Amino acid sequence: MTIELKDNQLLKPFSYINGSWHSSEAQLAVTNPANGKVIANVANAGVIETELAVRSAKKALKHWASQSAAQRSVILKKWHQLMLDHQDDLAQILTLEQGKPLAEAKGEILYGAAFIEWFAEEAKRAYGDTIPSPSTDKRIVVLKQPVGVVGAITPWNFPNAMITRKAGAALAAGCTFVVRPATQTPLSALAVAELAERAGIPAGVFNVVVGSDSRGMGKVLTQHPDIAKFTFTGSTNVGKALINQCSSTVKKVSMELGGNAPFIVFDDADIDAAVAGAVASKYRNAGQTCICTNRILVQKEVAETFTSKFVEAVSKLNVGDGISPDTDIGPLINSDAVSDVETLVNDSVSVGAKVVLGGERAPDSNNFYLPTVLTNVTNDMPIARNEIFGPVSPIITFDSEDEAIEMANDTEYGLAAYFYSRDIGRIWRVGESLEYGMVGINDSAISNVSAPFGGVKQSGFGREGSKYGLDEYMEIKYLCMGGL
């Protein structure tokens, strides 16, 4: 290990199964995307360890589910507090393995911890129902009960919050949990497990299996008969395959998949606010979030003003190692990710897009791509059809409100959309017409624990966070009380 923390016990190079740390001879190197250096070697678990984790979660289920929501809440709140106490260390681990600027990593730790607290409270309000019965000798009572063992696969772009957003809800509901985090960022997940143990979460309730056998481990998590619910955050293509696998045992499934977020600037918008919103939403995490702005659609009358102010703002962003305090944009996760962005930009330039800023890798670097703005883009170019997952803003112009809505909806994705306008009629019309699960109106910071996060169309189904997030981990049971 080459990381120095205030609390070095947070660095765990082993899977966490049934309350114990599992080593193995096979090792998986975790590298810092900013410089390619190995920061840790983690035990490379596989199918056997994943099956063991599922068995442990099954064994732990009865006791954990039988606790009251208030009892579980006490333990979850300790876990939340420990994450806050260790915010600096958790953020350092996150930046070193994922690359995002340290300030963003600290923000992610607060965001991630907040899901644990939110659901610790929310589970106390998992109300059932009594329903007026159609006959006088019966009563209808509805209960909510935990689904059972949950299998989860989580991504590298939010190595902390994408675990806590699922695990917080699952554990609060009374489920037990087995997660396979992305192999690029396992240390954040394992640090969260160390804190789970310190908080007193019983053995088997929260398990983390780290391993490179994505296919084999994925099959266990989607096909094991003891898993009742499967949840995934990642690409639409992988999500489709996992949904298929879940069908063999008819699991309850939730999917948070890819996006192609339009950011629409109407002619009546506050242009300075729109510029600030677009920069924040596009360049967060170097463009590597599912809800990042993917296409900027600007009404012709304001296109020149918006573009010049936007380019000026983007040109001020500093690219560098996330650990340095001046960095606004860190590296992409690996060189394949940079090649994918390069291909999308070059293919779009070859059919008429114009580079007005950036448009290439940062000099002398493997994983850094310069903040880029493209104009002359049309909605059918590769850069506008595909999820970019990099710091590139394609600007497309439009004439009318109807045209903007049509372009915005012309995609198989439906996760997040944004628009800026000061006309109240337009705000309602456009807000209701956009085929997206989340719409930011004169605001691009839409993620928070109280709001339902999730998409429609091929961006997935199910909601995370908010009062709705708990339902993903609960079943409704109807008791029919007769013979009265």
Contact map string, positions 106 to 125, toward ligand SIN, x by CB under 6 A: --------------------
Could you give the CA distance from residue 139 to residue 101 in angstroms, rounded to a whole number? 57
Residues 235-264 that bind ligand SIN (CB under 6 A): 256
412 assigned to active site? no
DSSP character at residue 329: B
For residue 137, what are the contacts with CB-CB under 8 A and spacing of at least 6? 482, 483, 484
- Among 104, 256, 464, 472, the active-site one is 256
The pair of structure tokens assigned to 206 is 């929260």
Contact 212, 27 (CB under 8 A): no
Q: With contacts defined by CB under 6 A, name the span among 26-34, 247-255, 283-291, 346-354 that binds ligand SIN.
A: 283-291
Q: With contacts defined by CB under 6 A, name the span among 57-65, 265-273, 286-294, 394-402 that binds ligand SIN.
A: 286-294
Q: How far is the CB of 55 from ligand SIN (least distance, A)?
A: 30
What phi and psi values does residue 91 have, to the nearest 5 degrees?
-70, -40
The enclosing H or E element of 440 equals strand 438-441
233 is an interface residue for ligand SIN by CB under 6 A: yes
Classified as helix, coil or strand, 420 is strand
290 is an interface residue for ligand SIN by CB under 6 A: yes
In single-letter form, the type of residue at position 97 comes to: E
Given the complex with ligand SIN, which of 213 and 256 has the nearer CB atom? 256
Return the number of other C-beta atoms located less than 10 Å from residue 13's C-beta.
18
Classified as helix, coil or strand, 374 is strand
Given the complex with ligand SIN, which of 211 and 465 has the nearer CB atom? 465
DSSP character at residue 319: B
The pair of structure tokens assigned to 467 is 């009062």
Contact 478, 470 (CB under 8 A): no
Q: How far is the CB of 239 from ligand SIN (least distance, A)?
A: 12
Classified as helix, coil or strand, 344 is helix
Residue of 189, 333, 407, 157 whose CA lies nearest to 257: 157
Residues 147-166 that bind ligand SIN (CB under 6 A): 157-158
Q: How far is the CB of 416 from ligand SIN (least distance, A)?
A: 9
Q: How far is the CB of 291 from ligand SIN (least distance, A)?
A: 5
Given the complex with ligand SIN, which of 117 and 194 has the nearer CB atom? 117
50 is an interface residue for ligand SIN by CB under 6 A: no
Q: How far is the CB of 436 from ligand SIN (least distance, A)?
A: 14
184 is an interface residue for ligand SIN by CB under 6 A: no
Residue of 21, 450, 392, 442 whose CA lies nearest to 193: 21
289 is an interface residue for ligand SIN by CB under 6 A: yes
Q: How far is the CB of 115 from ligand SIN (least distance, A)?
A: 10
Catalytic residues: 256
Q: Which residues bind ligand SIN (CB under 6 A)?
A: 157-158, 233, 256, 289-291, 447, 453
